[in-house]
Structure 1
Amino acid sequence: MQTFTLDPRLAADTLPVARMPSSELRLMNDRRWPWLILVPAQGGLEELFDLPAAAQAALNDDTMRVAQVLKRITGAQKINVGALGNIVRQLHVHVVARSEGDAGWPGPVWGHGKAEPYDARDLQAMTARLRGAMGAAS
């Protein structure tokens, strides 16, 4: 098994939030959408089917937990979940809170405009809120 190393683009575009049972939970540094990324903590993965069945189930459990928490704390109308990997090959799962009237509604978030990074205060508040909600969901 290869050593886990976070893809440089994911490292540049996201911020650490928490360690989940199967993956790292990271926040996309774009305040236009509450957007989380789950990255399985194993090296050499590109596709969901690269994971053994038990690890697939664990990643799915983490994804559903994150999606439920994100919907609850944001009041989003829709949670989008996807594992595209067309630009960043390393296996990662996007969990994005969407609401009618958001910056890209109803289109996809990918490639829509320019990212608007969190300021330090809002970033701290968002990560604290996520960590608190994830702890409460345990």
Structure 2
Amino acid sequence: MIQVTPSIAIDESEIEESFVRASGPGGQHVNKVSSAVQLKFDARRSPGLPNDVAIRLMKLAGSRLTLDGVIVIVAQAQRSQKRNREEALERLLELIRQAAVRPQIRRPTKPTKASKERRLASKDKRSSVKSGRSKPGMD
């Protein structure tokens, strides 16, 4: 079990790893070794995630989410397979930690009487400044 937060833990069997060849520079080494990691995690069917966290996680995943609800994370920045695995897992766990935080609900408030008066006073002042810029009338 991987402990994500004090209340959320996911089983290692829920995470599927596959290794592919990394793109980019690296010479002959990059052509021979499959060092890039493709990490797949089924957020929709994970028993370790509460339903609200899974919904927020799928929204946060964005383009990394497939139509089946599987999150795919590709890590290929490091030269070693082991470091790419660690990086991909850490990115997944960080995504789950972000989804575990409940967003604060905004409670709408009414403006105070003093703030309304300040707003109207500033509007009057601005109006007088602008009217002072106009051409004198024919009075």
Report the TM range for the smaller structure's normalisation: 0.3 to 0.5
Instruction: Name whichever structure is richer in strand by fraction.
Output: 1
Higher helix share: 2
* Larger RCO of the pair (alpha carbons < 8 Å, separation 6+): 1
